[in-house]
Amino acid sequence: MVTMTTIPLTPNALRVLEKRYLRKDEKGKITETPEELFRRVAKNIASADTLYGEDAKKTEEEFFEILSSLEFMPNSPTLMNAGRELQQLSACFVIPVGDSMDSIFDAVKATALIHKSGGGTGFSFSRLRPKGDVVLSTGGVSSGPVSFMRVFNAATEAVKQGGTRRGANMGILRIDHPDIEEFITCKERENEFVNFNLSVALTEKFMRQVEKNEEYELINPRTKEVVKKLKAREIFNKIVEMAWKNGEPGIIFLERINTYNPTPEIGEIESTNPCGEQPLLPYESCNLGSINLAKMVTERNGKNEIDWQKLTYVTHLAVHFLDNVIDLNKYPLEKIKEMTLANRKIGLGVMGWADLLAQLGISYNSEEALDLAEKVMKTIRDEAEKESEELAQHRGPFLNFAKSIYASANPRRNATLTTIAPTGTIGIIAGASSGIEPFYALVYVRANVLDSDELFELNPYFAEIAKERGFYSPELIKRIAEKGSIKEIKEIPESIRRIFVTAYDIPPEMHIRMQAAFQKYVDNAVSKTVNFPNSATPEDIAKVYLLAYKLGCKGVTVYRDESRTKQVLNIGKPGEKEVNTSKEKIARIRPQMTSGSTVKMRTGCGNMYVTVNEDEQGPCEIFTLLGKSGGCTSSQSEAIGRLVSLALRSGLKCEEIISQLKGIRCPQPAFTEQGAILSCADALARAMEIYHKEKKLPSLFEPIGGGSTLSPITPAHQSSAGGNHQSPITDLSKLGICPQCPECGNTLSYEEGCIICHSCGYSKCG
């Protein structure tokens, strides 16, 4: 069905509204137009004015104006539920998880209720006693935080949020929890914890210990006693390696977040919402909204500039709107209602930042953009404070104001005001670029649902300039679709290529600097993905983490291209890559001479010597030698080695091979200081992991003056044809599949910790 509308909505915006937001009858037939949706929301939210003797009708018209003009959008639960029976309007919740079965399963129940109503949940599992710790009530032992996370993950899987949104969780564990290593690696396999985003909570002390290459203490949260010491840098390396591998876990700087906690007397912040931008106290919720910066532009004397008066006007109305939401919300739990009404936190942010820069002719990758980011966000923050103070004069300050850090300042209505949130779906509705992200691509390839024709959807700002400057052509658009970037297309003027940069054109350090520029004037936190090309190294990710710490960010999310199979760059046609388009994989020829390294592993069948040899493209073969075994066991190990060698020369990544072999069990495991070696296959995987770690991370901390924490690998003695040198590992050819949206079949992109379809609005976090 195509809904008729006078609002300037794109076809994709209409599709998203029809599928997820517009009211439907019992038979699934749409019963409202987009205008009626915005009128429903404006009328419902404005009605809160009557509680304070204010003119609700006037406010309704003002709210309708900024909604229908796409200048402001609240978070999805407000658009979906305002003025309807559910009336649950918040997107963000944090639920405490205490160290008892009652507390854990109370949290599971609360999570199910929140997900059913359309919200996302965050948890800290740091209070739970570690795996193997005593359980006094039963005389047994604890299974640890990660095992209980599986319960939350399963509950989320079972609940589809009101038929419109899928459950999403944030799981956080402190860096000093004894189970931190298990937590860091628990999403190593892609099908694990699919409903969770994960972040490690780093402390200031830990970061100093990383810089100094010192040990740090693991503390049992039940007894508060030190149970073990680890090398801080080695654990940091492990976080980096996993983030390099698949984007998780992210990191948050927990003490820095609590430094800006507006109500420290009320409680300590332990967790954030699923995408990390909204730190909250236990049982607290927050509602979010975003100003569309693409609509804050005016033309004067033939030149585009920011309409600061309009930005001020929309900011004041948006704060008024979000404060009203708090009063009209139907909260899923009474405890959440009490905490939310006591602090009245709101999170006003922006979307369309890349659109704004394009209209102003400013490159995202420039100092000018950084300066403007600070100026724009400072204006929003300052004007939001003025509106909150004005609301407090008529309605009173938030209940905990006297216990807040603002107690000596002017009374204000809200404990927090600003947040930069992801705007995937509401961004599609508004026709705006996502949050403060750069353009992900200038051309999207979409399939026509009627006749399966491929349609190239071009960025409207680029299309306008291309037509004005006379270099527009269908052939050019196809080339852009294939490349994903215009930086190498010489027939496009350099000045245009400079402005229309995409996510992978921008150095990771600039992503962090942009995040830090906005964070400077944001009360809560900033949701932002630092995009890396597939060729990025763990060292590159470590540098970004350290830069984020230095520049005052509250957390970091990174993503290396193609590090997950459920991701696709919007380059070329769905299901197609720039590299190796043939259906058949042909293994490269083994060179006459290779060099390598040997790792000794203890197995239940005896000592296994695993040799990894390299050619100029990286690892190319594996040899195994079992010290005291023969017969079937030895032949099976040789067979595995040959198959792994073939896979390596066919272009498969070490990590993919490791993930297939690691964890395979046999009846005769070996127990070593490094843990149980479950089988010869598991030993081979562990040996490859050691080799891979040694080759990837030795220079990780050169910028801060330390040496590698890793010991050298034993030189190979079984390497055929000798060879003394160690060839550097080079980037293997890009592989992987291009998954499609499970609902509409179009391509997916990975943004701000979530998989998003820009066609139908499907999204999944975790």
How much is the CA Rg of the chain, to the nearest whole Å?
A: 27
End-to-end CA distance of the chain: 31
Nearest CA-CA partner of 644 in 610, 675, 601, 673: 610
Cβ atoms of residues 262 and 414 within 8 Å:
no
Helix axes 367-395, 353-360, angle to 10 degrees: 130
- Select which of 277, 385, 562, 751 is catalytic: 277
φ/ψ of residue 359, rounded to 5 = -65, -30
CA-angle at 677, arms to 674 and 678, nearest 5°:
150
The tokens of 529 are what? 């993905």
φ/ψ of residue 537, rounded to 5 = -105, 165
Amino acid in the structure at residue 553:
C
CA-angle at 604, arms to 600 and 607, nearest 5°:
25
Gap between the Cα atoms of 244 and 736, Å rounded: 16
Amino acid in the structure at residue 758:
H
- Select which of 44, 169, 273, 292 is catalytic: 273
In the beta sheet, which residues pair with residue 122?
Answer: 94, 170
- Select which of 44, 169, 195, 275 is catalytic: 275
Nearest CA-CA partner of 289 in 430, 161, 391, 406: 430
Gap between the Cα atoms of 15 and 757, Å rounded: 12
Helix axes 101-117, 145-158, angle to 10 degrees: 30
Lateral strand order in the sheet of 748-751? 748-751, 754-757, 763-765
Gap between the Cα atoms of 306 and 691, Å rounded: 54
Active site residue 277: yes
126, 133, 134, 149, 406 from 138: Cα distances, Å:
22, 12, 9, 21, 47
Nearest CA-CA partner of 545 in 521, 514, 509: 509
Alpha-helical regions (H) of 249-366: 254-259, 308-328, 334-343, 353-360
Gap between the Cα atoms of 556 and 253, Å rounded: 9
Q: How far is CA 360 from the centre of its chain?
A: 28
- Which residue shows structure tokens 């073990």? 228
Q: How far is CA 226 from the centre of its chain?
A: 32
φ/ψ of residue 495, rounded to 5 = -65, -30
E strands along 372-490, which residues? Answer: 443-447, 454-458
In the beta sheet, which residues pair with residue 559?
Answer: 531
Cβ atoms of residues 608 and 624 within 8 Å:
yes
E strands along 137-257, which residues? Answer: 140-141, 160-161, 165-166, 169-174, 196-202, 215-219, 226-231, 250-253
Question: Kind and range of the H or E element at 27?
Answer: none
CB atoms within 10 A of CB 460: 13
Active site residue 760: no
As annotated, the active-site residues are 273, 275, 277
